[in-house]
Amino acid sequence: MPAHKEPMFMVSEVYEKLNTNDPRYHISEEHTIFTLDNYEKLFENVTDEIAIGEASTPYLYHHKYSIPKIKRLLGDVKIIIFLRNPVDRAFSAYKHFVKETGDTDSFEQFLNKENVRVSENWDILTFPKGLGFYYNQVKAFQNNFSRVRIYLLDDLYADPDEILFDIYSFLEVDTSFKCNTSTKHNKSDISDKGLLGPILAGDNILKDMARPVLRFLLTEGGTTRLVTYLKNKNKKNMKPKTRKYMLELFKEDILKLQELLHRDLSMWLKFCFVIIPSSLVFWSIESGSGIG
């Protein structure tokens, strides 16, 4: 796996046209690999590895671009797809967007702007609903590749050793390798820490004592931190009404997906909160140097 995570080369055509009004434009522009030469350089240190590959989340959503390009350049490679509860994934994307860009919209406003952002070709992070309709996305990969393995992030979270063993077996690599799964990367939590955090959080006597004098003591900077704290506190959890709406939105697709995968996904339709990441990986298993 190259150190350059999510090169997005197989959907570079999409990112060439990314809207410059998207606050993530420069991040995506700097991160995306646009030429085959530069993509091949990611694997220039390959020697006799059994399996090489890369991970780029947009390949799943933009399958109409990624699948033909993968098949043309790499052939019938092994595909690994990780799926996350679409409701939790949508809210996690929102928190990541807020954390990264400083956006002040509520989650509901973020949802309402999706159609416009899709039509204007923003980055997929701003498509909280569209990314969660997995059925057609997964089916497209199953229809085009002979070796596709689907995993749920719930399973990886519950028993990482078992899932990693199955992945190693699928890739025909050393199944005894132990991977450190304790570190959480790319967390999307919105921070509410700071000078006022310990005072304002929860029920405590200090907060009760401070309330009547805060308006007299806060400096302009303190006021700004207070406003930011209150805004972020409300962004850390999804409103129950919104979660119910999202569950209904994805219900039909989840039921179709569970038939496609031949496994029970009813836990995704329950009113609960689970936080785990998401990604898609494709692999070239050809021997020798280069990308196969």
Greater confidence (61 vs 227) lies with 61
Q: Contact at 8 Å (CB) between 113 and 105?
A: yes
Mean residue pLDDT of the chain comes to: 83
Question: For the chain, which residues make up each domain, given as ranges?
Answer: 9-189+240-284, 197-234
Helix (H, G, I), strand (E, B) or coil at 177: coil
CATH of domain 9-189+240-284: 3.40.50.300
Residue pLDDT, tens place only, 210-220: 555 555 555 55
Interacting residues of 250 by C-beta distance below 8 A, sequence separation 6+:
86, 87, 132, 133, 268
Q: What is the CA radius of gyration of the chain?
A: 22
Is pLDDT above 70 for 252? yes
Q: Say how far apart CA 148 and CA 28 lie, in whole Å.
A: 27
Residue pLDDT, tens place only, 113-166: 999 999 999 999 999 999 999 999 999 999 999 999 999 999 998 999 999 999
Quick one: pLDDT at residue 8? 96
CA–CA distances in Å: residue 244 to residues 83, 237, 258, 270: 20, 13, 20, 9
Residue pLDDT, tens place only, 2-17: 999 899 999 999 999 9
Residue pLDDT, tens place only, 185-237: 555 555 444 444 444 444 455 555 555 555 555 555 555 555 554 455 545 78
Quick one: pLDDT at residue 28? 86
Residue given tokens 């992030």 in the structure block: 153
CB count within 10 Å of CB 72 equals 9
